A and B are shown apart, each in its own frame.
Chain A
């Protein structure tokens, strides 16, 4: 037997294999790109070529009925990027420290206070950046913070974030797993679509843009969860916190807030 002749048309194996594969490919393409789309009105509305393009995954426009001139409500303008979370240079921390003198009245000299304003010491930089941006463009409401954020430039915001990220987190440590953790914190409530707190807020994982909430003031935590639940706070980009809070009962909001506030600094110790 000679090895020659394998690719010759005279070799029936070659002839039949090649012909069958071409026929199979052509038939399935014709069915998939022409015949099946022909019975779908949304495919055929703009003619055969448009229908083939759609079947190939390339519609002429992805959403032809959408009125692009109309603006849609948007929860936030900030797109979180990993660069926001990187450690800053010492000079940025220094500039941030100077700017932060404006913030001490509520947030404390070192980012911790008992004024029910959130602690900022050790907060992740991208969190501070996002919230200040949202205040500045009125995506998050606070009569005090919206006014204060107006005067801040991009660089001011990033310097402030660097400064607060640089401050030590005081006496609060991350939640570690234990059977004793409240169920909602540990495993959430799967049948109600409530994710466990620790899958984003530290513990199982710490997601980008999710704040450090250990030791936050009780009133602040409760107020925020309630605001998410009612929709009066709506600057969570994917509505993730609104969806969590909406499914929670008032008792659960109290319990989760009390859990995370348990390590809040007390007046005497400051």
Chain B
């Protein structure tokens, strides 16, 4: 039963069309930076493109997917119509308005500040207002998720919240508190400077506030994927979810540990004390726990599927898995990329090892592998799973779906592995061009060509993805089968009261953020030396 079909489709279509545009920009960047092209004539165009690619991929795509998926889960898991449909549309249009505003500002070259927009670089105020509108639109979604859950709980006292909805609301609360950092930065520091009200900006404080959002946002992107792991994968491959409780534990651990760790992005920043850097590094290590729990649980769920299909022995069940099933393929690819990306992430978060790869191409490789690889490949699966419900189409073409997933996996590996390698060799990220005629760089030239080819595979995969979704709108309409989520191996087991609500975990999330961020923020806010002159980008001439 999915009543808000138009709403969810609108979110998904805008997300995926923007995604297709941004992936073309990404491939263009890779091409002009490679020895295949002559140097980009105007480096500003490169940075404009990086800003647009990053803004769409990091803010617009995941926000719209999380929102659309969240609305779908609310109706499918709670089995009742969405409360506040009109508000949901208002949120959607705010996101669209913000995206258009930011896109136009970027296109005319008034916002080439890269998507992390670090001060003292300052873009036109319209760019920031656009980003703020996207965030405010998503806050409406947060409120609606909370309201819908509350209403359901009131009507179902003592019943456990369905796991999909539990993860969904955890993601919403996580995003609400995550976005506070960057929202504060934009409203209190950047917009006054961008509007010309001040000539200086507290760059140190701005970076600290942004780091609050910058790392936790990753877990907001990740939530739809983890919800898919727990509630779609076991059902789709014909197994049972090994543990429903483990899913809840993973979701609340993300809530608690994703915020107070962002300073590991600022290891090279002199304005932060070494003590806080260590504390954030230690807490970042903690956030690998829910991921390891998830990998364990999903592999155990797959084992159940394998054994149900007649697999025997310690590894026989692996062979018995439904390898011709796109979901099986996707979750395998996702875990492989999560494994490599996660291992790279452990390098990034450790205070000492970070020195060797800080601001190198390694970092770009890391977050492409984790986000664009492990996470986005599951966004594809979420869309494929929901499409028959949304469009009432027949079964999607399995072969084409598998080709698309293979292309994405191979493309992402070919794109990001050379980046890791040259990152270790010291190639800086965010450079518009390299002089490959230089003997020191010549030996690295092939890696950039390899990445360009990987990027091309990704473009093809993205086009196939959009083609599959678009063609599903044609053809006969069928009444879709009732949508189901995974059933746990031990159905009916009691859910601990602490894992059937969020109060304790939200309190711990806020408390730990204050402990880990309170002092650095207060100290930098009071430090007059942290104020530096603003550098407007695209200001004149």
Q: Say if A and B assemble together.
A: yes
Query: Does B256 sit within 8 A of A, measured CB to CB?
Result: yes
Partner of B199, one of A28, A29, A81, A199: A81
Look across to chain A and name the residue whose beta carbon is closest to the beta carbon of B200: A81
**Residues of B contacting A79 in the complex (Cβ-Cβ under 8 angstroms):** 533
Given contacts A14-B498, A28-B283, A187-B39, contact A58 B523 (CB under 8 A): yes
Query: Does A174 sit within 8 A of B, measured CB to CB?
Result: yes
**Residues of B contacting A74 in the complex (Cβ-Cβ under 8 angstroms):** none
Query: Does B395 sit within 8 A of A, measured CB to CB?
Result: no
Given contacts A21-B256, A177-B41, contact A32 B498 (CB under 8 A): no
Question: Which residues from 422 to 436 on chain B have a C-beta closer than 8 Å to any C-beta of chain A?
Answer: 431, 433-435
Query: Does B494 sit within 8 A of A, measured CB to CB?
Result: yes
Flag if A177 contacts B42 (CB, 8 Å).
yes
Flag if A21 contacts B276 (CB, 8 Å).
no
Query: Does B278 sit within 8 A of A, measured CB to CB?
Result: yes
Query: Does B286 sit within 8 A of A, measured CB to CB?
Result: yes
Flag if A14 contacts B501 (CB, 8 Å).
no
Query: Does A1 sit within 8 A of B, measured CB to CB?
Result: yes
Report the bound CA distance from A3 to B499 in whole Å.
11
21 pairs, CB–CB < 8 Å, chain A vs chain B? A1-B494, A2-B497, A6-B498, A11-B497, A13-B496, A13-B499, A14-B498, A21-B512, A25-B279, A25-B515, A28-B278, A29-B275, A52-B275, A55-B273, A55-B274, A55-B275, A187-B433, A190-B433, A190-B434, A196-B43, A208-B536
Report the bound CA distance from A58 to B534 in whole Å.
25
Flag if A37 contacts B433 (CB, 8 Å).
no
Report the bound CA distance from A31 to B498 in whole Å.
31
Given contacts A31-B278, A55-B274, A205-B541, contact A13 B497 (CB under 8 A): yes
**Residues of A contacting B359 in the complex (Cβ-Cβ under 8 angstroms):** none
**Residues of B contacting A80 in the complex (Cβ-Cβ under 8 angstroms):** 533
Of residues A79, A189, A191, which shows the largest number of chain B Cβ atoms within 10 Å of its Cβ?
Answer: A191
A81–chain B nearest beta-carbon distance, Å: 5
Partner of B508, one of A17, A28, A187: A17
Question: Which residues from 64 to 93 on chain A have a C-beta closer than 8 Å to any C-beta of chain B?
Answer: 79-83
Query: Does B438 sit within 8 A of A, measured CB to CB?
Result: yes
Query: Does A45 sit within 8 A of B, measured CB to CB?
Result: no
**Residues of B contacting A57 in the complex (Cβ-Cβ under 8 angstroms):** 271-276, 520, 523
Query: Does B446 sit within 8 A of A, measured CB to CB?
Result: no
B269–chain A nearest beta-carbon distance, Å: 10
Query: Does B78 sit within 8 A of A, measured CB to CB?
Result: no
A158–chain B nearest beta-carbon distance, Å: 16
Partner of B274, one of A3, A29, A36: A36
Query: Does B196 sit within 8 A of A, measured CB to CB?
Result: yes
Interface size class of A (residues with CB under 8 A): 35 or more
Question: Which residues from 233 to 279 on chain B have a C-beta closer than 8 Å to any C-beta of chain A?
Answer: 256, 271-279
Flag if B278 contacts A207 (CB, 8 Å).
no
Query: Does B535 sit within 8 A of A, measured CB to CB?
Result: yes
Report the bound CA distance from A204 to B44 in whole Å.
6
Q: Tell me the count of chain B residues lying within 8 A, CB to CB, of chain A.
A: 57
- Chain A to chain B: the 8 pairs with minimum beta-carbon distance, closest first: A57-B273, A55-B275, A32-B278, A206-B541, A13-B498, A28-B282, A202-B541, A33-B275
Flag if B533 contacts A81 (CB, 8 Å).
yes
Query: Does B503 sit within 8 A of A, measured CB to CB?
Result: yes
**Contacts beyond the supplied A54-B273, A83-B199: 17 A-B pairs with Cβ under 8 Å:** A1-B158, A1-B500, A3-B500, A7-B503, A24-B282, A24-B283, A25-B515, A31-B278, A32-B275, A32-B276, A55-B273, A82-B533, A177-B41, A178-B41, A205-B44, A205-B537, A205-B539
A31–chain B nearest beta-carbon distance, Å: 7
Query: Does A5 sit within 8 A of B, measured CB to CB?
Result: yes
**Residues of A contacting B272 in the complex (Cβ-Cβ under 8 angstroms):** 57
Query: Does B118 sit within 8 A of A, measured CB to CB?
Result: no
Flag if A179 contacts B497 (CB, 8 Å).
no
Look across to chain A and name the residue whose beta carbon is closest to the beta carbon of B494: A1
Flag if B508 contacts A21 (CB, 8 Å).
yes
Report the bound CA distance from A17 to B42 in whole Å.
54
B146–chain A nearest beta-carbon distance, Å: 16
Partner of A56, one of B273, B438, B536: B273
Query: Does A233 sit within 8 A of B, measured CB to CB?
Result: no
Look across to chain B and name the residue whose beta carbon is closest to the beta carbon of A202: B541
A239–chain B nearest beta-carbon distance, Å: 17
Query: Does B394 sit within 8 A of A, measured CB to CB?
Result: no
Query: Does B17 sit within 8 A of A, measured CB to CB?
Result: no
Query: Does A136 sit within 8 A of B, measured CB to CB?
Result: no
Question: Which residues from 1 to 23 on chain A have a C-beta closer than 8 Å to any C-beta of chain B?
Answer: 1-3, 5-7, 11, 13-14, 17-18, 21
**Residues of A contacting B41 in the complex (Cβ-Cβ under 8 angstroms):** 177-179, 186
Query: Does A231 sit within 8 A of B, measured CB to CB?
Result: no
**Residues of B contacting A14 in the complex (Cβ-Cβ under 8 angstroms):** 498, 504
Query: Does B540 sit within 8 A of A, measured CB to CB?
Result: yes
Look across to chain B and name the residue whose beta carbon is closest to the beta carbon of A85: B540
**Residues of B contacting A189 in the complex (Cβ-Cβ under 8 angstroms):** 435
Query: Does A203 sit within 8 A of B, measured CB to CB?
Result: yes
A68–chain B nearest beta-carbon distance, Å: 15
Flag if B158 contacts A2 (CB, 8 Å).
yes
Of residues A13, A28, A178, which shows the largest number of chain B Cβ atoms within 10 Å of its Cβ?
Answer: A28
